[in-house]
Amino acid sequence: MARFQDIPRFTRHACYMVNVSLNYLPRAYTRYVMDYGLDVSPDFQRGHVWTPQQKVRFMEYMLRGGTSGLDIYTNAPTWNRGRLGPKYPESWFVLVDGKQRLDAALGFLNNEFPVFGAYFREYTDTPRIVQSNFRWHVNDLATREECLQWYLDLNTGGTVHSEEELEKVRSLLREKNTYARPSPDEISANANLGREVIQEAIREAEEENKRLEASRRTAEEAAAKKTTRKRGRK
């Protein structure tokens, strides 16, 4: 007797989601890679397989207000404990689904191809924030095995993957190995941080950090002077 309750369930879905606008994507991407150690090319991921035409079509869809296909899925077992990044040996953070779409968006922002006949630099306004958003999901699956199964769950229900690509992941799943986190240099190299739009985001972040540090020092100096004056009155 068939029962709906007996149908195997998919892997638990991501438990956290944040909207990342197209304008803010370079800053967010840079922060996730450099500060949190996001590995955008773990061994189960495909390479960059989209053609230039596919990238253009996706960006046209996104800029016209398309809403499906804008979900980016990642996994970080320790993110909800605030232990994420190179300084925490037990942490790991991987891109599970969305590599091609992220590469297309960053490529457009980097003026690598035109969309609707114009490069990003040629547009005189900014994309509409309410429409041009990625939904960035973070799951906290504890093991590599669970993460691999989640990848298969996401990519065997209609997404265009070759059987060879899927079998590669099934083989990794059968091996039951733990995740080997690449070095920070390897993570940065795989993330293609050399793009000018990414370098600009890095410079903006550095300038912002300098301003925040200057404000902090000013506040500390003002507090110290106030304390000195109080002591002088006594």
User: Which pLDDT tens digit goes with each residue over 153-162?
Assistant: 888 754 467 7
Which residues lie closer than 8 Å to 68 by C-beta, 6 or more apart? none
pLDDT at position 199? 93
**Residue 141 falls within a domain, yes or no?**
yes
The whole domain housing 87 covers 10-192
pLDDT above 70 coverage of the chain, percent: 95
Q: How far is CA 195 from the centre of its chain?
A: 16
Q: Could you report the per-residue pLDDT of 103-127, keeping only the tens digit for each? A: 999 999 999 999 999 999 999 998 8
Task: Say how far apart CA 44 and CA 97 lie, in whole Å.
Answer: 10
**Residue at 140 is within a domain:** yes
Report, as an integer, the average pLDDT of 177-192: 87
Residue among 162, 24, 146, 167 nearest 96 (CA): 146
Whole-number pLDDT of residue 169: 84
- The count of C-alpha atoms lying within 13 angstroms of the C-alpha of 122, restricted to the half-sphere facing its C-beta, is 10
Q: Does pTM top 0.75 for this prediction?
A: yes
Q: How many CB atoms lie within 10 A of CB 94?
A: 25
Tens-digit pLDDT profile for residues 213-226: 888 888 887 777 77
Q: What is the pLDDT of residues 31-59, one digit of tens each?
A: 999 999 999 999 988 889 899 999 999 99
The SS3 call for residue 206 is: helix
In a domain, 68, yes or no: yes
Would you say residue 211 lies in a domain? no
Residue 117 forms part of a structural domain: yes
Q: Is residue 197 part of a domain?
A: no
Torsion sign (Cα): 65, 68, 74, 75? positive
In a domain, 223, yes or no: no
Identify whether 225 is part of a domain.
no
Answer for the pair 146, 11: CB distance below 8 angstroms, yes or no. yes
| Rounded Cα gap, residues 86 and 37, in angstroms | 6
* Count of domains for the chain: 1
pLDDT grade, residue 77 (50/70/90)?
A: very high
State the chain's mean pLDDT as an integer.
88
Would you state the pLDDT for residue 232?
A: 67
Least confident window among 60-64, 98-102, 165-169: 165-169
Rounded to 5°, the CA angle 122-127-129 comes to 165
From the list 10, 63, 74, 71, the residue with the least C-alpha distance to 41 is: 74
Strand partners, 17: 137
